[in-house]
Amino acid sequence: MPRTHRPILALTMGDPVGVGAEVVARTIVDPEIREACQPVVIGNPEILRRAAAWCNLHLQLHEVTDPAEGFDGADGSVPIYDPAPLMSASLMNLPVGKVSELAGDASVRYVIAAIDLALASRVDGIVTAPINKEAINAAGHRFAGHTELLASRTGVREAAMMLVTGALRVIHVTTHVAFAQVPSLVTPDRLDEVIGLFHTTLQALGIQSPRIAVAGLNPHAGEHGLFGNEDSAIIAPAISRAASHGITASGPWPPDTIFARAARGQFDGVVAMYHDQGHIAVKMLGFDEGVNVSLGLPIVRTSVDHGTAFDIAGQGIARKNSMVEATRLAIQLGRARHR
């Protein structure tokens, strides 16, 4: 991040018929966000203006047709770049809140454009509004979600997902896979990678000596082999290896109690073995404020921790909390990466 002024962050609009445009509109008019960074929206300007009207917001947009123009917003406007302008009329005619192949295709185009801008150092990080997995796959983009798309576009073999809400920070060993596949994917190499990434990221967030708790895979962390041997045979040795590298890691802890202990401040973060193990804990504690962070990428990327919310799209009632918190965290991570 070469700039010493406010970081430039690309906010992708998400699925055009979901709540993405609404939460982006609410975020880019937030005075605290505008003071801390220069947002640039990647998406369709007419969709964004429509969302602003639903939310009773006044937006001053500056449409950028070529990213080489820059995104300074010096006149107080918010720059917006549409990588798929020919889709504009068709997108405006789509029914709001319905799965659409066209909307899914547009949402992927927005993310790819933002990734490429970040890789070219034109922006300091990206913050993504929600996409719809069914829609993007119907459009021919074979990804389980943002994380897999980001890894593919940036050339990373495998990224990791971290969720943050309040004092609870959770990283996942596996994410969007069938539960039956989880045990085979909890490998020594993957555990080493995830624990190391977590340690480095927590330090970037200002925690000098992070205390990392590792959740078990099985009930009661296996109960000494009574409920499976993965915890003792695979997870425990990974914790020992991390400790030998100076990482303060402990466990494996029973999954049904470790998240509550971390939320109370006994640990700085928890390593979850699979998607729902970590997501349920985070969403129970902070459904509206949770943030999704992709680790292991060459760029900074944060995201809301909610979906397209088709059931309330177009009503102007979608909350901005998660998008605002994701933007704040992107600012913090971008500055840390620069240091």
- Kindly list the domain boundaries of the chain, sorted by start residue: 8-159+298-338, 160-280
pTM summary value: 0.88
Q: Could you report the per-residue pLDDT of 291-330, keeping only the tens digit for each?
A: 999 999 999 999 998 999 999 999 999 999 999 999 999 9
* CA distances (Å), origin 28, targets 21, 228, 308: 11, 49, 18
C-alpha span between 217 and 60 (Å, rounded)? 50
For the domain made up of 160-280, give the CATH fold.
Isopropylmalate Dehydrogenase (3.40.718)
Task: Please tell me the least confidently modeled range out of 76-80, 95-99, 110-114, 333-337.
Answer: 333-337
C-alpha span between 245 and 243 (Å, rounded)? 5
Read off φ and ψ for residue 288, nearest 5 degrees: -90, -15
CATH value of 8-159+298-338 in 3.10.450.50, 1.20.1730.10, 2.60.40.1120, 3.40.718.10: 3.40.718.10
Q: What mean pLDDT do residues 113-132 have?
A: 96
- Which residues, listed in sequence order, are joined to residue 244 by a DSSP beta bridge? none
| pLDDT band at 1; cut points 50, 70, 90 | very low
| Residue whose tokens read 């799965």 | 99
Q: What mean pLDDT do residues 99-105 have?
A: 97
> Taking a C-beta distance cutoff of 8 angstroms, is the pair 322, 288 a contact?
yes
Q: What mean pLDDT do residues 52-72 have?
A: 91
User: Same CATH fold, 160-280 and 8-159+298-338?
Assistant: yes
pLDDT at 336: 75
pLDDT at 174: 94
102 residue type, one letter: L
DSSP string, 56-86: T----EEEESSGGG----TTS-EEEE-S-GG
| pLDDT band at 339; cut points 50, 70, 90 | low
| pLDDT band at 338; cut points 50, 70, 90 | low
Question: Would the CA dihedral through 325, 299, 241, 171 be positive or negative?
Answer: positive
169 residue type, one letter: R
Whether the pLDDT of residue 3 is over 70: the answer is no
C-alpha span between 315 and 322 (Å, rounded)? 18
Instruction: Give percent of the chain above pLDDT 70.
Output: 98
